[in-house]
Structure 1
């Protein structure tokens, strides 16, 4: 058993504190990972603040994990000591249902086991990557290509796959017009990936404050949504819209930007329900969809794609003592574009 140093929170309004957590002894197919970097995702904030339902505190968040293998179980064949690896939003699934057999473990019919705020097959609560070590069974560990540094690799395990998966599924490619709503941690990755896939990319952000960045990341166009003329000018324009924001927006206004058979996909997860007018869909056979990360196979595909196209997030590395400040800055949209914790500061 390994005693890991960590940062834990004891309630929705509590600050993070130093903690020690036990990581289980290695089972036959387990991998022990020394975590080097852990990204901060908006989902961490929603969960730590109890906005998505009851939480079993104390909680150690973190599902954007990059590190080094330090030990493996007796029957592990995929990894060895010294390998550069990552762990994303889930650490297990039933492996037997139709969705798991398709390689879509994120949609496990029995419910996948989340990296944190879940309960593992041993009946123990899962604790995440704001820590120095984690034990994960090998099928849910990812190989990080050598060309991607570990600090920038961490956010790919959520922000990367959360945007890659819908762009891949709905066919972003040359000849397709893709809009990205929001230019935060998810949005800037969506721009980079959609551009690399060959699509014509437009950013739809509240203001033009990040326009220079958006164009550098690969956007062909950049519009401010606080200007009502934007919606008139772009009416019926896009084949695919990826909505990355975790707040309520006027969904009907964005539906008007879709062409015939266009699709708006939500990857941002607001804490309150959205409403829509069904006539916004019926008029041009438009679709409203959602997407949640990707399966292990697709996540590895994403990492390899990012390595091939030199795609990495723009990050700000912080110490473990800065997590509370980082949460406040994320909520104030004061980050370009992802915070990453240096776990050596635990």
Structure 2
């Protein structure tokens, strides 16, 4: 296996991912893009979109198999590149209620526009006490976990609820959990990474049929453009995904 970015081929070439002008790949590893989805929207869907769709789909299927009439409530932690798409996809998939969960309220208006039914700011006093037994699933999309109070999140789970993390923080960060908060409602903790080919095709078809459109900022690919967006990402200024464009112009290939 050679990853599409940062992978080394037998001849020593290092794969360039989204910085490459072209890619040659076996047909088994490519995906049909439905009509109605632009390339600049398909790209983030096939990365961040698939990352959140996979655990949302698995949990919803399990809940429906257990009780077809059950209301299923999900909380999305972190309204960024992953969380912004998780809100849209969760609504499109049929979750009964979708909550956006953030530290402050700066993204509340955006979260509601993205489809959230409710918004929770964890810096507000007694937020957990007022949401006891609310969530079937909490999906962590935050890029850092150092400030996550896991005991509070586990306390707002319904019986048998699940906390799934797809956000990948720094390697030196870890969850701090009291076992008592796992025992009290038989909650579970899991993780997820990307998704299957079948899930990707399902997700793209769902996005096309339901009008799920990632919130992106387009930036023409160049050394200056890449430097600009990486600096903004480091500062937390992205709203909510950057997409590099104008490849033909930059590499003087094909047609625009």
Normalised TM-score (structure 2): 0.86
Paired residue for 1:291?
192
Higher share in strand: 1
1:218 aligns with 2:99: no
1:150-189 alignment runs, 5 A limit: 150-171=39-60, 175-189=71-85
Q: Give the gaps of 5 or more residues in structure 1.
A: 1-91, 93-112
Extract structure 1 runs of 4+ deviating beyond 6 A. none
Q: Give the gaps of 5 or more residues in structure 2.
A: 65-69, 251-256
Paired residue for 2:213?
312
Paired residue for 2:127?
230
Q: In 1, are the aligned partners of 2:92 and 2:206 still within 8 Å (CA)? A: no
Report the alpha carbon displacement of residue 327 of structure 1 after superposing the two structures with TM. 1.3
> How far apart in 2 are the matches of 1:300 and 1:119?
27
| Residue in structure 2 matching 1:209, options 106, 112, 120 | 106
Normalised TM-score (structure 1): 0.64
Report the alpha carbon displacement of residue 323 of structure 1 after superposing the two structures with TM. 1.3
Paired residue for 2:254?
none
CA RMSD across the alignment: 1.8
Q: Provide Cα deviations, 1:54-112, integer angstroms capped at 9, x if missing partner.
A: xxxxxxxxxxxxxxxxxxxxxxxxxxxxxxxxxxxxxx5xxxxxxxxxxxxxxxxxxxx
Q: 1:147 to 1:228 in 2, by over 3 A?
A: same
> How far apart in 2 are the matches of 1:331 and 1:228?
29
Report the alpha carbon displacement of residue 273 of structure 1 after superposing the two structures with TM. 3.4
- Alignment: residue pair count: 235
| Residue in structure 1 matching 2:174, options 242, 265, 274 | 274
> How far apart in 2 are the matches of 1:170 and 1:191?
15
Paired residue for 2:161?
262
Higher share in helix: 2
Report the alpha carbon displacement of residue 234 of structure 1 after superposing the two structures with TM. 1.2
> How far apart in 2 are the matches of 1:140 and 1:278?
41
Report the alpha carbon displacement of residue 228 of structure 1 after superposing the two structures with TM. 2.8
> How far apart in 1 are the matches of 2:204 and 2:37?
9
Paired residue for 1:192?
88
Report the alpha carbon displacement of residue 229 of structure 1 after superposing the two structures with TM. 2.1
Q: Provide Cα deviations, 1:157-196, integer angstroms capped at 9, x if missing partner.
A: 1111001000001117771010000110100100001111
Bigger relative contact order, structure 1 or 2, given CA contacts below 8 A and separation 6+? 2
1:253 aligns with 2:152: yes
Q: 1:327 to 1:345 in 2, by over 3 A?
A: farther
> How far apart in 1 are the matches of 2:154 and 2:234?
26
Q: Provide Cα deviations, 1:139-159, integer angstroms capped at 9, x if missing partner.
A: 111111111011111101111
1:146 aligns with 2:35: yes
Report the alpha carbon displacement of residue 332 of structure 1 after superposing the two structures with TM. 1.9
